[in-house]
Amino acid sequence: IMKQDVRKLTFDKLKDYVSETGLPPFRAKQIWEWIWVKSAHTFDEMSNLSLLMRAQLAKDFDILPISVQTDQKSNDGTIKLAFSLHDKALVEGVLIPVDDRMTACVSSQVGCSLSCKFCATGYMDRKRNLDPAEIYDQVVEIEKQAKRHFDTPLSNIVFMGMGEPLLNYKNVLRSIERITATDGLNMSPKRITVSTAGIAKMIIKLADDQVKFNLALSLHAANDVKRNQIMPINETNTLKVLKEALLYFYQKTGNQITFEYIVFDNFNDGLEDAEELWHFAKSIPSKINIIEYNPIAEAQYQNTTADKLEQFAEFLKSKKLIVNIRRSRGKDIDAACGQLANKN
């Protein structure tokens, strides 16, 4: 019989188990801390429990950690990790070191069902959702890399790896709860950003759930015709519907939205595109990240020219929008935005 992963238990359920096994109640807290604060991968590591107790736990439960299958380091310091899951499925995570921050980019699904035309993951099928513990483990493993290579802990987490986080809603929120909890990794939710291709009803649910983390929308075009072309999800979640959901999110949480906008050559990089973006963004408290495109074999899109990128950004700045240009990182190892597809 399959044993249950101990990390699927809530603290209350763990307490029940401990009392049913006839152990003193304080043992539940010790086990919980081993799992979520110290990130133990085996019961043997739980050194303040007796050998007997560890054997009992191992008999009743499993811990199904992810493991690093390969790691590649880019010329710019970016590190890409391929993680093997207990069922041999693979996902990828990335450590992005920049001057003032260490960012972990984590995956939320094995593959993706949204088929965005410019994204390598979008050409894979969605195999399954990740469990909260599998997302949590990515953060732990990427932080180890940050400490090993740069002697610095993680400062930020972005859910921008493989998959659409809002289609794995419950598990993503539970993973963030464990990552931010004082009896977890104790990271500030203000340093976590969940990125979505734009699922309006789930954005509204985030607002109603009063989440504390940041929300990013992969926009890439501010008119429906163009956005439908590259992001099929837009056909059922139009820009008008998304704008209403984002405004609602802001009213409920007070968190400004980040718009991610990849500039494709001769597709969405003209001044009329910049103007459409301004019209869309101006009424939503937000900032805009303009992202260099990283071409992939499956798609014919190319990155825009440096001049056009500059003009695009300048136009938005002249309209008093907050704009950052995000240079591509980890291109040489297929670790850049939109390139994650288990190519190792």
Active site residues: 92, 337
Token pair recorded at residue 126: 């969605």
CA angle 43, 47, 51 (to 5 degrees): 70
Ranges assigned E (strand) in 74-188: 79-84, 90-98, 101-105, 109-110, 128-129, 156-159
Angle of helix 26-36 relative to helix 11-20, nearest 10 degrees? 130
CA angle 318, 324, 330 (to 5 degrees): 150
- Among residues 128, 138, 148, the alpha carbon closest in space to that of 67 is found at 138
Token pair recorded at residue 238: 């139009």
258 neighbors 289 (Cβ within 8 angstroms): yes
Rounded CA-CA distance 223/243 in Å is: 12
239 neighbors 282 (Cβ within 8 angstroms): no
- Among residues 268, 226, 223, the alpha carbon closest in space to that of 242 is found at 223
* Residue entry with tokens 């992963």: 5
CA dihedral 217, 308, 224, 246 (to 10 degrees): 30
Q: Give the number of residues written for the chain.
A: 344
Burial of 186 (0-12, 13-18, 19+ CB in 10 A): exposed
